[in-house]
Chains A and B, each alone.
Chain A
Amino acid sequence: MKDGWETIIGLEIHAQLSTESKIFCGCSTRFGDEPNANTCPVCLGLPGSLPVLNRRVVELGARAALALGLQINERSIFARKNYFYPDLPKGYQISQYDQPFSERGELEIMTAERDEGGHPKEWRPFRIRITRLHLEEDAGKNVHEGLPDVDRYSYIDLNRAGTPLAEIVTEPDFRSSWEAYDYVNYVRRALQWVGASEADMEKGNLRCEANVSVRRIGDEKFGTKVELKNLNSVRFMQRAIEYEIERQINLIESGGRVVQETRLWDERAQETRPMRSKEEAHDYRYFPEPDLPPLVVTGEFIETVRATMPELPGARLRRFVDEYKLSHSDASLLTSERALADYYERAVKASPNARAAANWVRSELLRELEAANLSAEASPVSPEELGRLLHTVEEGKINAKQAKDVLVEMFKTGKSADAVIQERGLVQMSDEGEIDRIVDEVITANPKQLEQYRAGKEALFGFFVGQVMKASKGKANPKIVNERLKAKLSQ
């Protein structure tokens, strides 16, 4: 960013809560069904229909709130947010307003600026205040693609109308696009981790909006903010914010003024554009939803939910660093998904040491999983089998390089470590008598090199090692080979 300027960013995330049925009716939340098939009088907004709250929404909302360090209010109120749009059949969205489900969260995450290639520079802790997380229903969808006369018509699919959402709003605490990027990734991971949401941006079950403004360093007042939408991935959001910062600074420096508006990110053009909209004052005229009682959540309920929560990613990351002595970046990677963290911990129990297990899971196993597009849960190599393999390396039965090949084979065939080692005849030769015999043979067969070595050309040591390994077809234990060769060459 340009010197002398500061950026202020606040974020809003909408996450679809993972329920089977909608928030206020029994229609399915399934994605991809025939348009308008999953609708009923409630989600179509037909007169006389009444909403009934889905209990699971409250539970998942509580899990999400606790995962993000929010305080759950004992009593919250649903409110009508009134506006006209064809995808909103009732003419209002049932949301929450002045008494939301949960408030006042604070989160500490790790963040880092990135270099040109997108690689993190230096990780540092970063605190964000989360204003609120409230519960609401989603609207339907306007569809244009593949339909006739779209220059004149819009087509409405109300399958999504009434899908439960958690809206998560932060204070304007972000000062860079990468802080925002790391935060959204953290929230995504946390929501998946506690089972509150699939939080998949590509499927549209996690959407985010950014409020961006700039001001000269030292200014007390915030600049005029612009709302960014159509941020279909975390990376797009980061780019859109970056573009917007530059646009606003250039605008002000050239004597212009930032207009308060909503702008859409155009990924193809790599720019933000003002959203076309009628000049209409936003006046949602919120009022309490008369068809729903206040949502009362007891302390007992919150404790029950808390008791069933898994250890959260941040806590687990810190524990991995303390307990297993992992680097921050290893611990961060291993806690990027709950299934992977679970896998790692089971592997630790079965392995000779935790750091070796981390290295193997992080590099060798993850590579295979990624290539096969599998999650850690679905790994054909169980954590116990991986641990068994690491023991064979530790015991010197096979070397690390061989173990890597064995792991690939285990992954491909689902066979045990021992079975693959047996089949491939890989068991390392550690019998000193046998190794001595080969060492003697090699020395006898290479008198010239022996003479040069003894004359001081010590680099030839490697040559002898290579010959012995070759003669043993790679099976000789390199440590013993080194010892015996050293002894015999200097005799």
Chain B
Amino acid sequence: MPITESDIAKIAELAHLEITPEERRAFTPQIAEIVAYVEQLNELDTSLIEPATGGLTPEHERADASREDAVRPSLGQKLALDQAPDPASGHFRVPKVL
């Protein structure tokens, strides 16, 4: 699938990245090259292979990887907010959202 400049613009928008028209032009062939590289995998015939979701083979899927419904200690408000750039009144404070 050819990658166009409008794909790059859309990805940037979805990722909340601001890029200049120059950057857009520069990134388009670079990302196209990366995608083409990965697309080599499409040459393999995987029609008989189940997707290994979560990195597991179908046999491993059946191993129980869940936990009991038990409460464990949380960080608490102070520690949770410790690394926040702008904590206020016990909350994470951010620019106003709609």
Contact = CB atoms under 8 A, between A and B. Distances in A.
A73 interface: no
A157 interface: yes
Given A35-B77, A37-B80, A55-B66, A294 B94 contact: no
Contacts of A28: 71, 74
A21 B70 CA distance: 6
Given A35-B91, A77-B53, A293-B56, A55 B69 contact: yes
Contact of B55 (A26, A147, A148, A290): A290
Which of A55, A82, A155 has the most chain B CB atoms inside 10 A of its CB?
A155
A278 B56 CA distance: 39
Given A21-B70, A34-B77, A155 B91 contact: yes
Interface stretch (B21-29, B30-38, B57-65): B57-65
A39 B74 CA distance: 5
15 contacts: A21-B72, A25-B72, A36-B90, A37-B76, A39-B74, A41-B75, A52-B67, A154-B95, A157-B90, A157-B91, A158-B92, A289-B54, A290-B55, A292-B65, A293-B65
Given A26-B70, A85-B97, A86-B94, 11 more contacts: A21-B69, A27-B71, A35-B91, A36-B92, A52-B65, A56-B68, A155-B94, A288-B53, A288-B54, A293-B60, A294-B56
B49 interface: no
**Which DSSP category, helix, strand, loop or mixed, fits chain A's interface?**
loop
Nearest to A17: B69
B71 A21 contact: yes
B8 interface: no
B74 A53 contact: no
Given A20-B69, A294-B61, A150 B96 contact: yes
A54 B67 CA distance: 5
Contacts of B14: 82, 283, 285
Contacts of B16: 84
Contacts of A142: 97
A35 B76 CA distance: 9
A322 interface: no
B98 interface: yes
A153 B97 CA distance: 7
A366 interface: no
Contacts of B63: 293
Interface residues of B, number: 39
Contacts of B54: 288-294
A153 B51 CA distance: 44
Contacts of B10: 283
Interface string B1-28: 0000000001001101000000000000
B88 interface: yes
A277 B97 CA distance: 10
Contacts of B90: 34-36, 157
Contacts of A353: none
Contacts of A34: 77, 90
B89 interface: yes
A153 B86 CA distance: 11
Contacts of B56: 293-294
A437 interface: no
B81 A36 contact: yes
Given A55-B66, A58-B66, A155-B91, A36 B80 contact: yes
A238 interface: no
Nearest to B83: A46
